[in-house]
């Protein structure tokens, strides 16, 4: 190997190594640390062996590159020159690839990447949407070069920027160019790089140093590693240019020793650069000398701080010191020193070769260029992402990241590592640049981006980062060392259920002091995780402290089992399930009735949040909790007697009025009765049950089941007055004068939202809720027999209306919904059933106008939609496609786009505050703005579920009781956890078998009738299903027991 002595020689070398696309066939495998972790190195070995076996070893090259960015699909390989890209490889696939693709030039469909949006296969790597949506100025080269091979870097014009600088530019011109580009430090603080350089250049002294800060230690961040492992020469080239501009002759790469592959790669790169004469004396004949040494960091996070890093290179304890003097004046060994991050250095060759103007066009006004982020956590596409500054968080998370896995909802994003903050859903519109993220209470930092979903507890997140920081603070400043320790102490107490009132305020006060008084960047930003989580997720802290509950089910000391924690009513799920498992249905029913008066109803129509948190899911499938509840609820069929509910003999001397006999009102009545009250329920309709009675069709919830559960509540001494509309038939003041002292308003939402399109008032346009109510009350309706029906909407009532119409004899039912199936709010099983029964669903369609003939509906004009921008929920906004209008012939139109509430008539003469959407303003326990008035259910919360209504009724019961008795110490029997004496063997390994699906009626049997579709489990099937429960409720108990036994053994 000859040293390159002149720029002309370099030009020749570059030309000789230019990558030729149609050259020798080649297989590219990415083996960054991430790839190796997923077995990429084994793929390479297998590939080599396989090629050798076929005698192809000399004919086909294998190129080993660093990480390309899309870590989720590793290990992957590209077969060149055809550019076929195979993903998520298994070792066994290698054989097939060689025999089919390499030898026969056939593509293996199965191994190609599937675009999740279109479900189509993608052949080329660059066509994968994850890459397409990025601007990969820096990272794209990782796929082209073997980092161990300087020739590959020459092949992509490597070191030509250096040559340009050394031959055609003065030092000042280089600095000026960097200044003009607007490049800012990528390490986190975002100081303009050009200015930093000029300070160092102007500093007095002949000996100057430059340093590359590769001490990347943020949890979840690995951008620098990706560059060091994938393209080390680019960093070196940047450093040499920087050294030239600043006037330094010695440089250091400070790299953490936990990156062994990166250390090896950069070491090798330096060696090769020296061999080619690109380092050391007289570089390219320019009389400029520069050499680079590697210093390996011993793993202290604080050594990423520049003054601590300097101390560490000098061989001292890695502790920051006060600035000024800044390193540009007094740095390494008191000489002027310039420190930049890996990514900053990697940007330099690009600015030189493409120009400052080109560079400054990318990004926002104050933040220029592209930035690499590591997108990790609860996100579909994990990997390294390079985007222009200014991209919004939602485009990053939903667009490039592909959203949250398993259909869960987004909760927060942690940017900038431990020094950054957590931003909530509301801030997803924030553009990613230095200033905007800082305003929001976070930072870009080095570029870590941890996505968190609904299963993440934000208090626990704060605890995690505080624990990390209290270990990683250098410990010099009192404020940082003790402050973080104390914050961690308080937050840990909160996660253990030992939080106190005032803890949040104390945390805030302490956090501000730590931020204000610490010396270095670590301490000054250490409070960010706490401050930002308190700022945006304060209610979660409050729930932990006041209710001793962890809504996400993470803080183990605060919940009994995940299912029980997920249930709004906190039903003892493992308890009744285990009783079912032993065939003790009677006891199971008693236990279920303890916290829920409607086991039969919830067994049919509950949205079963419990099931989505079931841990059995990690083994095979979650336990069918809802269906099991139905088994005990259908006691008559299963020969179980309705247990006697204990009510106190002594009655409470207060009269309580409940307005609305829906699930919230009735459950409030149920719990009040159990406290010894005799409440009166006023209902406007001729039947009790509210939405359960008039909105849910018979085939989902048979009338007699509902009636039976209501009758059981009546038996407890609850009076239900039907056909009495409060506000019209009787007023609040009349009730007051009759001696009622507390009022629970749970009237639900009964107004239909209008479509707001022409033709809405034509005959045969029926609002879904009105129509379903009339059908349920057996009122006469326009016969749909043989008619064509269009239902508009995507919620449960839209699907209910569609299925009902089909049962009543419609010839064709079309449901139109403006978004896609993925976003449809109706329950998945309901949509499936509707499709199975023959409802045609047109997605991405919205009505424009309804046409009539002689006042009757004739046809409906619709327009097709396409998916536009993401909203904060991660749903893509539907945008109309121009000229895509089409007409549907129709006889009946049923809009079902939601309900609203109107309580003005109800509260005549009473000034109760309402929210903008017409719902009643009240606190978590249902207290409305006037003492004595309580509210719950849909009218307070907006459209919600049965179990949430039951919970609202229960909360209001406690609030009413406390209001009337003024006794805050009373214990409510149903709120205590009841242990069950069922047998469970913790040693036994769970046997894998999936969920027992309940039988359903065939499509044929459903036609023309309202027979219940889903059938109840048989006794044996129910017991078999119940046995699948893993008994998470015993976890803590068993752990304690085992520890006790262990201790006893040790003692013996």
Partner 1 sequence: MIEMTIDGLDVQVEEGSSILDVAQFYGIPVPTLCHHDGLTDYGACRLCIVEIGKGDNTKLVSSCTYPAELGLFVRTNSKRVVEARKVLVELLLAMCPSSKTIQDLAAAMEVTKVRFKVEQGDCVLCGLCVRMCAEQMDAKAIGFVNRGKDRKITTPFDIKSDVCRTCGACIYICPACELRCQGPGPPGDVCGSCANVLPVCLEDEDDKMCFLGTCGWCYKELGRKKNKEKE
Residues that bind partner 1 in the complex, under the rule CB under 8 A: 300, 302, 317-318, 321-322, 324-325, 469-479, 481-486, 489-490, 506, 509-510, 512-513, 516-519
Which residue stretches of 924-1034 are H helix?
938-941, 946-965, 1003-1006, 1019-1026
**Stated length of the chain:** 1052
Q: Give whichever of 300 and 573 is closer to partner 1, judged by the CB atom.
A: 300
- Residue 351 CA to residue 1038 CA, distance in Å, equals 62
Provide the minimum distance between the beta carbon of 509 and partner 1 in the complex, in angstroms, as a whole number: 6
- Residue 857 CA to residue 763 CA, distance in Å, equals 6
Cα three-residue angle 478-481-487, rounded to 5 degrees: 110
Q: Give whichever of 486 and 872 is closer to partner 1, judged by the CB atom.
A: 486
Q: Give whichever of 519 and 815 is closer to partner 1, judged by the CB atom.
A: 519
Provide the minimum distance between the beta carbon of 475 and partner 1 in the complex, in angstroms, as a whole number: 3
Are 626 and 608 within 8 A, CB to CB?
Answer: yes
Q: Give whichever of 507 and 947 is closer to partner 1, judged by the CB atom.
A: 507
Q: Give whichever of 307 and 941 is closer to partner 1, judged by the CB atom.
A: 307
Provide the minimum distance between the beta carbon of 468 and partner 1 in the complex, in angstroms, as a whole number: 10
The dihedral sign for the CA sequence 364, 366, 372, 377: negative
Provide the minimum distance between the beta carbon of 477 and partner 1 in the complex, in angstroms, as a whole number: 6
How far CA 843 is from CA of 756, 833, 930, in Å, comes to: 20, 17, 45
Q: Give whichever of 491 and 1029 is closer to partner 1, judged by the CB atom.
A: 491
Task: Please give the DSSP secondary-structure letter assigned to residue 500.
Answer: -
Provide the minimum distance between the beta carbon of 63 and partner 1 in the complex, in angstroms, as a whole number: 42
Provide the minimum distance between the beta carbon of 189 and partner 1 in the complex, in angstroms, as a whole number: 14
Per DSSP (E only), the strands in 717-839 are 719-721, 740-745, 751-752, 788-792, 812-816
Provide the minimum distance between the beta carbon of 222 and partner 1 in the complex, in angstroms, as a whole number: 23
Instruction: Give, for 659, the enclosing helix (H) or strand (E).
Output: strand 655-659
Q: Give whichever of 523 and 794 is closer to partner 1, judged by the CB atom.
A: 523
Are 663 and 710 within 8 A, CB to CB?
Answer: no
Beta bridge partner(s), residue 899: 752
Q: Give whichever of 471 and 1040 is closer to partner 1, judged by the CB atom.
A: 471
Q: Give whichever of 331 and 388 is closer to partner 1, judged by the CB atom.
A: 331
Residue 814: which region, alpha, beta or left (left: phi > 0; alpha: psi -120 to 50)?
A: beta
Provide the minimum distance between the beta carbon of 384 and partner 1 in the complex, in angstroms, as a whole number: 29
Structure tokens at 536: 């945006």
Q: Give whichever of 478 and 1015 is closer to partner 1, judged by the CB atom.
A: 478
Which residue stretches of 298-338 are H helix?
306-313
Are 100 and 108 within 8 A, CB to CB?
Answer: yes
Q: Give whichever of 300 and 569 is closer to partner 1, judged by the CB atom.
A: 300
Are 647 and 662 within 8 A, CB to CB?
Answer: no
119, burial (CB in 10 Å: exposed 0-12, middle 13-18, buried 19+):
exposed
Can you say how many angstroms the Cα of residue 523 is from the centroid of all Cα atoms in its chain? Answer: 29
- Residue 266 CA to residue 673 CA, distance in Å, equals 75
Sheet with strand 84-86: strands edge to edge: 61-65, 26-30, 77-80, 84-86
- Residue 373 CA to residue 945 CA, distance in Å, equals 39
- Residue 585 CA to residue 588 CA, distance in Å, equals 5
Q: What phi and psi values does residue 863 have, to the nearest 5 degrees?
A: -130, 145
Q: What phi and psi values does residue 519 have, to the nearest 5 degrees?
A: -80, -50
Which residue stretches of 405-477 are H helix?
434-439, 458-472
Q: Give whichever of 315 and 324 is closer to partner 1, judged by the CB atom.
A: 324
Q: Give whichever of 467 and 823 is closer to partner 1, judged by the CB atom.
A: 467
Q: Give whichever of 299 and 868 is closer to partner 1, judged by the CB atom.
A: 299
How far CA 81 is from CA of 21, 146, 149, 550, 839, in Å, comes to: 6, 17, 20, 54, 49
- Residue 90 CA to residue 72 CA, distance in Å, equals 14
Are 672 and 659 within 8 A, CB to CB?
Answer: no
- Residue 384 CA to residue 380 CA, distance in Å, equals 13
Q: Give whichever of 224 and 319 is closer to partner 1, judged by the CB atom.
A: 319
3-state secondary structure of 133: coil
The dihedral sign for the CA sequence 356, 361, 363, 365: positive
Provide the minimum distance between the beta carbon of 262 and partner 1 in the complex, in angstroms, as a whole number: 23
Provide the minimum distance between the beta carbon of 206 and partner 1 in the complex, in angstroms, as a whole number: 23
Provide the minimum distance between the beta carbon of 518 and partner 1 in the complex, in angstroms, as a whole number: 7
Are 131 and 76 within 8 A, CB to CB?
Answer: no
Q: Give whichever of 336 and 568 is closer to partner 1, judged by the CB atom.
A: 336
Q: How far from each other are the two terminal CA atoms of the chain, in whole angstroms?
A: 72
Provide the minimum distance between the beta carbon of 627 and partner 1 in the complex, in angstroms, as a whole number: 49
Cα three-residue angle 612-613-618, rounded to 5 degrees: 95
Q: Give whichever of 333 and 886 is closer to partner 1, judged by the CB atom.
A: 333
Provide the minimum distance between the beta carbon of 175 and partner 1 in the complex, in angstroms, as a whole number: 25
- Which residue, chain included where needed, has tokens 């485009």? 395
**Dihedral angle of Cα 271, 276, 277, 280, to the nearest 10 degrees:** 0
Provide the minimum distance between the beta carbon of 516 and partner 1 in the complex, in angstroms, as a whole number: 5
Q: Give whichever of 322 and 737 is closer to partner 1, judged by the CB atom.
A: 322
Provide the minimum distance between the beta carbon of 508 and partner 1 in the complex, in angstroms, as a whole number: 11
Sheet with strand 370-377: strands edge to edge: 383-388, 370-377, 448-453, 410-415, 421-424
Provide the minimum distance between the beta carbon of 330 and partner 1 in the complex, in angstroms, as a whole number: 11
Provide the minimum distance between the beta carbon of 311 and partner 1 in the complex, in angstroms, as a whole number: 12
């Amino acid at each position: 190997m000859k040293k390159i002595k002149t720029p002309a020689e370099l030009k020749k070398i570059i030309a000789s190594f230019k990558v030729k696309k149609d050259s020798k066939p080649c297989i590219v495998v990415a083996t960054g640390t991430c790839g190796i972790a997923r077995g990429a190195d084994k793929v390479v070995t297998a590939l080599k062996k396989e090629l050798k076996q076929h005698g192809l070893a000399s004919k086909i090259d294998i190129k080993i590159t660093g990480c390309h960015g899309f870590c989720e699909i590793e290990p992957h390989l590209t077969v060149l020159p055809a550019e076929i890209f195979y993903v998520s490889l298994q070792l066994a696939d290698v054989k097939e690839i060689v025999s089919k693709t390499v030898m026969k030039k056939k593509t293996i469909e199965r191994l190609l990447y599937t675009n999740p949006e279109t479900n189509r296969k993608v052949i080329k790597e660059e066509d994968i949407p994850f890459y397409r949506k990025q601007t990969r100025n820096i990272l794209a080269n990782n796929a082209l070069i073997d980092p161990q091979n300087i020739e590959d870097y020459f092949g992509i014009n490597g070191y030509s920027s250096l040559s340009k600088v050394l031959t055609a530019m003065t030092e000042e011109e280089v600095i000026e160019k960097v200044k003009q580009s607007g490049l800012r430090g990528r390490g986190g603080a975002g100081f303009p790089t050009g200015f930093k350089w000029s300070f160092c250049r102007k500093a007095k002294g002949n000996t100057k140093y430059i340093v590359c800060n590769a001490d990347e230690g943020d949890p979840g961040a690995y951008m620098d590693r990706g560059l060091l492992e994938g393209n080390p020469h680019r960093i070196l080239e940047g450093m040499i240019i920087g050294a030239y501009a600043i006037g330094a002759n010695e440089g250091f790469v400070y790299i953490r020793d936990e990156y062994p592959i990166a250390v090896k790669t950069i070491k090798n790169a330096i060696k090769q650069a020296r061999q080619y004469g690109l380092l050391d004396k007289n570089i390219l004949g320019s009389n400029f000398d520069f050499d680079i040494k590697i210093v390996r960091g011993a793993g202290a996070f604080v050594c990423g701080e520049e003054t601590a890093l300097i101390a560490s290179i000098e061989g001292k304890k890695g502790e920051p010191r006060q600035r000024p003097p800044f390193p540009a004046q007094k740095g390494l060994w008191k000489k002027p020193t310039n420190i930049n991050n890996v990514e900053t250095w990697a940007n330099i060759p690009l600015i030189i070769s493409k120009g400052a103007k080109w560079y400054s066009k990318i990004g926002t006004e104050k933040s220029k260029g592209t930035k690499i982020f590591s997108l990790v956590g609860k996100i579909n596409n994990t990997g390294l992402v390079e985007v222009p500054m200014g991209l919004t968080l939602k485009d990053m998370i939903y667009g490039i990241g592909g959203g949250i896995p398993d259909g869960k909802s987004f909760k927060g994003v942690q940017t900038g590592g431990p020094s950054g903050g957590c931003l909530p859903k509301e801030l997803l519109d924030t553009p990613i640049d230095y200033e905007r993220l800082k305003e929001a209470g976070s930072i870009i930092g080095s570029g870590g981006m941890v996505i968190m979903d609904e299963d993440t507890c934000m208090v626990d997140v704060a605890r995690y980062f505080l624990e990390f920081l209290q270990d990683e603070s250098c410990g010099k400043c009192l404020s940082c060392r003790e402050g973080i320790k104390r914050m961690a102490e308080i937050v840990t107490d909160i996660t253990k259920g030992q939080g106190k009132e005032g803890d949040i305020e104390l945390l805030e006060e302490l956090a501000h002091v730590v931020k204000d008084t610490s010396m270095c960047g670590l301490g000054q930003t250490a409070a960010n995780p706490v401050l930002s989580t308190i700022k945006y997720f304060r209610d979660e802290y409050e729930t932990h402290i006041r209710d001793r509950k962890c809504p996400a089910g993470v803080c183990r000391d605060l919940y009994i089992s995940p299912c029980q924690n997920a249930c709004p009513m906190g039903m003892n799920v493992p308890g009744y399930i285990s009783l079912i498992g032993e065939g003790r249905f009677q006891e199971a029913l008693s236990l279920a009735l303890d916290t829920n008066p409607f086991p039969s109803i919830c067994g049919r129509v509950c949205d079963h949040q419990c099931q989505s948190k079931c841990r059995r899911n990690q083994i095979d499938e979650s336990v069918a909790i809802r269906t099991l509840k139905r088994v005990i609820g259908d006691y008559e069929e299963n020969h179980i007697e309705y247990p006697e509910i204990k009510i106190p003999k002594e009655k409470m001397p207060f009269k309580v009025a409940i307005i609305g006999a829906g699930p919230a009102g009735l459950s409030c009545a149920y719990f009040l009765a159990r406290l010894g009250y005799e409440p009166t329920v006023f209902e406007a309709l001729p039947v009790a049950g509210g939405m359960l009675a008039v909105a849910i069709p018979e085939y989902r919830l048979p009338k007699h089941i509902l009636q039976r559960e209501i009758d059981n509540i009546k038996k407890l001494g609850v009076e239900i007055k039907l056909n009495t509309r409060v506000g019209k038939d009787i007023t609040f003041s009349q009730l007051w004068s009759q001696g009622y002292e507390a009022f629970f308003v749970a009237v639900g939402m009964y107004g239909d939202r209008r479509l707001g399109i022409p033709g809405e008032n034509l005959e045969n346009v029926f609002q879904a809720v009105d129509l379903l109510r009339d059908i349920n009350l057996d009122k006469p309706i326009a016969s749909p027999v043989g008619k064509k029906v269009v239902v508009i909407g995507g919620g449960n009532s839209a699907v209910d209306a569609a299925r009902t119409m089909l049962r009543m004899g419609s010839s064709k039912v079309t449901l139109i919904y403006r978004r896609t199936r993925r976003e449809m709010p109706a329950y998945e099983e309901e949509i499936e059933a509707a499709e199975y029964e023959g409802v045609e669903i047109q997605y991405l369609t919205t009505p424009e106008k309804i046409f009539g003939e002689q006042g009757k509906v004739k046809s409906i004009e619709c327009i097709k939609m396409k998916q536009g921008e993401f909203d904060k929920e991660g749903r893509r906004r539907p945008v109309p496609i121009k000229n895509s209008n089409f007409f549907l012939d129709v006889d009946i139109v049923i809009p079902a786009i939601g309900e609203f509430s109107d309580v003005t008539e109800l509260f005549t003469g009473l000034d109760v505050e309402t929210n903008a959407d017409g719902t009643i303003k009240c606190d978590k326990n249902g207290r409305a703005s006037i003492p004595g008035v309580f509210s719950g259910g849909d009218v307070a919360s907006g459209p919600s579920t049965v179990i949430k209504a039951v919970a609202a009724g229960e909360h209001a019961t406690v609030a009413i009781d406390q209001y009337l008795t003024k006794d805050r110490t009373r214990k409510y029997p149903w709120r205590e956890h009841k242990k069950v004496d069922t047998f469970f063997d913790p040693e036994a390994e769970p046997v894998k078998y999936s969920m027992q699906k309940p039988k359903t009626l065939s499509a044929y049997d459903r036609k023309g009738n309202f027979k219940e579709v889903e059938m109840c489990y048989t006794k044996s099937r129910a017991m078999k299903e119940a046995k699948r429960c893993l008994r998470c409720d015993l976890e803590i108990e068993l752990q304690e027991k085992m520890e006790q036994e262990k201790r006893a053994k040790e003692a013996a």
